[in-house]
Chain A
Amino acid sequence: MTHLSPDTFVDLLDGTLAEETVPHLATCDRCRQQLAGLRVTWQAAADVDVPEPSPLFWDHLSARVHNAVAADERPRAPWWRVDWSWTSVGLAGAAVAALVLVVFLQMPRPVAPVSGTASASGSVAVVGVANPEPVTPLPDDESMGLMADLASDLDWDGVAELGLAPVGGVERAASEMSADERVELQRLLHEALLEM
């Protein structure tokens, strides 16, 4: 026996096909029960409403769509037509300056091998051995002079306290010295202590 097809079941449920026009139903309990079960299930599904959201929800949804559409149709300006306000330029400049400063501070500084003598006044004359080219004297800079005057009264601890010397800088410089450089440094320090 050939039972009813899904197509026929759906047409019977829809009512587009009358039960009387399907003789198989009168003789087949299985199909009759299946049709009844589908009808009950369909009715159970149809009876269920969607919970009504808050009355404010509909306007909220409209507003969300309105804003999304407005944002969607707003043309994006190419970068050369962006409004470069002074604020954004200033912020970008400050960010670049900060980046350069950080990179500069992080750069390892080569410690030149030194040789030299301490003068009678206690100052140390240092001559680069690895780089014998004469150092071009820097042009006079008033601000540098002012800085030198201000710093002349500071001892090493004061400089470190002000954050002008990186923490561990001395230790790092010492650790990167060659054996000859350490001997020379030791000699210079010894002379300086004798003069004290």
Chain B
Amino acid sequence: MATPLTVTLNGRADTGWNVTVVRHETEVPDPALQALTEPDLIAAVLDGRPGAFDLIVERHRRSVYQICYRFLGNHEDASDLSQDVFLRAYRGLKAFKGNAALGTWLHRIAVNTCLNRVALKTPKGEPLDETEPVDSTGETPTERMLRDERAVRVRAAVAKLPAKQRAALILRTYQEKSHQEIADALGTSVGAAKANVFHALQNLKKLLGELSP
């Protein structure tokens, strides 16, 4: 169990207040688990070894979240969906045959979870102020504002694509999956996966209008 660090800021806060900041440190994964290969890590989860599934989550949480975000277009839904994806993965881990990489399998679950979600609920998109606030490119504030606005427009346009086109585009463009992997994830043929990517780009071009030459 992590030990909470307690810091009292008496000298720096208003004299009428005692401010206590408590930072809960995350548990350090077992080094023995860190050294395990992917199949052994999966076996460790199935054996009920504490921390094994946490390590899988830690390794794949970013890519799973990004798929969910690109699909749903907002942080709140992406966060909830990411949790669902890992819970489904945990429940289905016994059925994981190891034919594909664990990451590919998780991404497939993420896509299916997202497809199920958009079938039930239209994504609400993101507010303008949800864009990345950190300037990591050295650009001017105006340039950054224009880039952010354009990013919001592109994400909103992607979120408007039909579900299978969206999934195919996300997997191909951002996850760099092969067409075979996309076909596996969507339960279609490779030809249909390619057609989904093509129509996704065609529709995106229409939605974005002036971005095209």
Contact = CB atoms under 8 A, between A and B. Distances in A.
Interface residues of B, number: 47
A58 B62 contact: yes
B87 A68 contact: yes
Nearest to B205: A41
16 contacts: A7-B195, A37-B205, A40-B211, A44-B154, A44-B208, A45-B173, A49-B132, A50-B66, A52-B134, A53-B65, A57-B79, A58-B62, A66-B53, A68-B87, A72-B87, A72-B90
B41 interface: no
Nearest to B48: A73
A48 B87 contact: no
Interface residues of A, number: 35
A52 B179 CA distance: 28
A155 B75 CA distance: 70
A69 B131 CA distance: 31
B121 interface: no
Given A42-B173, A45-B173, A65-B83, A72 B91 contact: yes
Interface centre among B58, B130, B197 (most CB of A within 10 A): B197
B114 interface: no
A59 B195 contact: no
A46 interface: yes
A38 B199 CA distance: 10
Interface of B: 26, 53-54, 57-58, 61-62, 65-66, 69-70, 75, 79, 82-83, 86-87, 90-91, 126, 130-132, 134, 150-151, 154-155, 158, 169, 173-174, 179, 191, 194-195, 197-199, 201-202, 204-205, 208, 211-213
Contact of A6 (B65, B86, B198): B198
A6 B195 contact: yes
A6 B130 contact: no
A124 to B, nearest CB: 72
A30 interface: no
Contacts of A38: 198, 201-202, 205
A64 B36 CA distance: 24
A47 B134 CA distance: 16
A62 B198 CA distance: 36
Contacts of B212: 37, 40-41
Interface in A8-55: 9-11, 13, 33, 36-38, 40-42, 44-53
Given A62-B26, A62-B54, A48 B155 contact: yes
Contacts of B154: 44-45, 47-48
A104 B195 CA distance: 72
**Nearest 10 A/B pairs, CB to CB:** A6-B198, A41-B205, A65-B86, A10-B194, A37-B212, A51-B132, A48-B154, A48-B151, A50-B69, A59-B26
A180 to B, nearest CB: 69
Contacts, number: 109
B159 to A, nearest CB: 12
Given A45-B173, A69-B53, A6 B205 contact: no
A150 interface: no
A41 B83 contact: no
A61 interface: yes
A10 B198 contact: yes
Nearest to A7: B194
A59 B151 CA distance: 26
B29 to A, nearest CB: 10
A53 B91 CA distance: 27
B54 A61 contact: no
Nearest to A44: B211
A52 B169 CA distance: 21
A45 B53 CA distance: 33
Contacts of A37: 205, 212-213
